[in-house]
């Protein structure tokens, strides 16, 4: 059997191997996340933060076995191509992770609402009844699913090019994909402390780009100073136009980042095997 092509059967076997070896840790992990959602089920910023931060640690530790001598040898001896192995990593850290987060959110929301209503009944005393105070009841809410940042609202209006409704298009998925792809690369590239080292690498890259941009600005503009004339509205229109022009390539670059990180991950994984 050739191993230099992409084979769905081998990919399926890799998924099977993953769940057999990590079934216990997966159950513990998602059980903890369900408990966390019980307490943050109505906190939109908190839930977004949980999904992103937990996703960073999930992706950063995904390829930890390749950095241990015994496990690494066994991993690279698996009769599957690096593309197939990386495909499993991409699916597990993006699609699988997101779907599981939505499932445990549903479980945590149901359990949290039920628990709160149960506690309200238990703490309801005769004193409350004498005062005519009814039992406090918490209605079941799905705030995460109603948030425009996660799921677009008025989808048919967006398809009809309703400009006002384009604000509802999800901002979460691009951030999520960039974060997961970057830290998956970090899990393959770094041997230990993948989260810290990846953050540190991002910081160094940011400082480097800041220095380069400062040097280029000095070379092109010298000591030129921008004078803001608040009375000149045309000046602000020109700046707004330039920002829109630069926003298009910036968005394209940002949306292509996950693909770039996955390609680099592939070559790094191949290099590790060699």
Per-residue pLDDT tens for 54-111? 999 999 999 888 888 777 788 888 888 999 999 999 999 999 999 999 999 999 999 9
pLDDT for res 128? 55
List the chain domain ranges. 8-192+225-273, 194-223
As to burial, measured by CB atoms within 10 angstroms (0-12 exposed, 13-18 middle, 19+ buried), residue 134 is exposed
pLDDT for res 163? 39
Other CB atoms closer than 10 Å to residue 154's CB: what's the count? 14
- Of 177, 32, 176, 19, the C-alpha closest to 104 is 32
DSSP H stretches of helix in the chain:
8-40, 44-60, 69-76, 82-91, 97-123, 126-130, 143-146, 155-159, 172-189, 194-221, 233-273
Position 220 confidence tier, pLDDT thresholds 50, 70, 90: low
Which is more confident, 231 or 92? 92
Average pLDDT over residues 154-171: 42
Tokens, residue 19:
């769940």
CA–CA separation, 165 and 167 (whole Å) = 5
Round to the nearest angstrom and report the end-to-end CA distance of the chain: 21
Instruction: Pick the most confident of 50-64, 163-177, 211-225.
Output: 50-64
Position 161 confidence tier, pLDDT thresholds 50, 70, 90: very low
Q: Is the pLDDT of residue 131 over 60?
A: no
Which is more confident, 221 or 211? 211
The residue written with tokens 């191949």 in the block is: 270
Tokens, residue 65:
């076995």
pLDDT for res 1? 45
- Which of 34-38, 50-54, 157-161 is the least confident region? 157-161
The whole model's pTM is what? 0.79
CA–CA separation, 131 and 239 (whole Å) = 63
Tokens, residue 248:
């298009």
Q: Is the pLDDT of residue 235 over 70?
A: no
Are residues 109 and 41 in contact, defined by beta-carbon separation less than 8 angstroms? yes
Average pLDDT over residues 223-241: 54
Q: Is the pLDDT of residue 15 over 60?
A: yes
Q: Is the pLDDT of residue 237 over 80?
A: no
- Which of 117-131, 147-161, 238-252, 256-270 is the least confident region? 147-161
């Amino acid at each position: 059997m050739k191993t230099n092509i992409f084979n769905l059967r081998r990919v399926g076997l890799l998924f099977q191997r993953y769940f057999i070896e990590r079934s216990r840790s997966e159950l513990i992990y998602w059980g903890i996340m369900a408990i966390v959602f019980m307490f943050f089920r109505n906190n939109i910023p908190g839930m977004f933060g949980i999904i992103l931060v937990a996703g960073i640690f999930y992706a950063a530790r995904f390829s930890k076995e390749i950095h241990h001598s015994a496990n690494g040898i066994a991993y690279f001896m698996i009769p599957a191509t690096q593309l197939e192995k990386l495909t499993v990593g991409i699916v597990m850290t993006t699609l699988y992770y997101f779907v599981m987060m939505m499932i445990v959110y549903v479980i945590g929301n149901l359990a949290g609402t039920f628990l709160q209503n149960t506690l309200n009944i238990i703490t309801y005393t005769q004193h409350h009844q004498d005062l005519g105070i009814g039992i406090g009841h918490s209605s079941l809410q799905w705030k995460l699913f109603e948030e425009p940042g996660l799921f677009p609202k008025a989808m048919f209006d967006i398809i009809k090019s309703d400009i006002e409704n384009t604000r509802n298009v999800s901002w979460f998925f691009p951030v999520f994909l960039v974060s997961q792809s970057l830290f998956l690369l970090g899990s393959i590239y770094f041997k230990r402390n993948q989260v810290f080292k990846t953050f540190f690498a991002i910081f160094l890259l940011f400082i480097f780009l800041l220095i380069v941009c400062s040097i280029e600005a000095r070379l092109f503009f010298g000591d030129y100073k921008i004078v803001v004339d608040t009375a000149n509205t045309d000046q602000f229109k020109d700046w707004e136009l330039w920002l829109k022009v630069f926003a298009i390539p910036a968005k394209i670059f940002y949306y292509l980042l996950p693909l770039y990180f996955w390609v680099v991950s592939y070559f790094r994984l191949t290099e590790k095997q060699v």
